Amino acid sequence: MSLAVCPGSFDPITLGHLDVVRRARGVFDEVVLAVAHNPAKAYLFDLEQRVELARGALDGLDVRVDVVDGLLADYCREVGAVAIVKGLRGGADYDSEQPMALMNRHLSDVETMFLVGDGALAHIASSLVKDIASHGGDVSDLVPPAVARALHDAFPHPGAQR
């Protein structure tokens, strides 16, 4: 049985993330969406919210959501992962992901598999989604519905509900 881990902070989970996870699920017997938890990092949504939003977004996809509290390499060893799956939107993503892939392989012997994201979703990044939402923009075509509602609640704008 092959198990792959799709790691990330998922702050918040986007349609681009879902695309990668769906396609990874078609390749591997089991996929775990591993929500990273770094106490030194500032997140819009706390760990419980990110996990809850991810679980809701993945409902019906037979993908487990779990928390990674330490090194991803250690987590992969613990769960018996054969691969780490990362989505790439372009060359800049590869440039930032490649050293991490090499280090994870060095630490755990787990290979990283890069999936090229759907071109129609390549412009979607969690940081951009948060920026748009913080200015009252519509993100409903970038994230699952529950995430759009959570972002709307996180960034209330006067006059938005007339």
Instruction: Give residue-wise pLDDT tens across range 54-96.
Output: 999 999 999 999 999 899 999 999 999 999 999 999 898 899 9
Q: Which of 41, 106, 135, 162 is catalytic?
A: 41
Catalytic, 108? Answer: no
Catalytic, 86? Answer: no
Catalytic, 126? Answer: yes
- 102: in domain: yes
Higher-pLDDT residue of 102 and 159 is 102
Give the mean model confidence (pLDDT) for residues 147-154: 96
CA gap 65, 34 in Å, rounded: 6
Q: Which of 17, 25, 50, 86 is catalytic?
A: 17
- 14: in domain: yes
- 127: in domain: no
- 161: in domain: no
DSSP strand E in the chain: where? Answer: 3-8, 30-36, 64-68, 83-88, 111-116
- Tally the domains of the chain: 1
How would you list the strands of the sheet with 83-88, edge to edge? 64-68, 30-36, 3-8, 83-88, 111-116
- 29: in domain: yes
Q: For the domain that residue 38 is a member of, what is the CATH number?
A: 3.40.50.620
Q: Which of 25, 86, 126, 130 is catalytic?
A: 126
Q: How confident is the model at residue 29 (pLDDT cuts 50, 70, 90)?
A: very high
- 99: in domain: yes
- 48: in domain: yes
- 131: in domain: no
Catalytic, 17? Answer: yes
User: Average model confidence (pLDDT) for the chain?
Assistant: 93
Higher-pLDDT residue of 161 and 3 is 3
pLDDT at residue 162 above 60?
A: no
Q: How confident is the model at residue 159 (pLDDT cuts 50, 70, 90)?
A: low
- For residue range 125-137, list pLDDT tens digits in order: 999 999 999 999 9
Residue 103 is part of which domain span?
A: 3-121
Q: Which of 25, 86, 89, 130 is catalytic?
A: 89
* The pLDDT of residue 128: 95
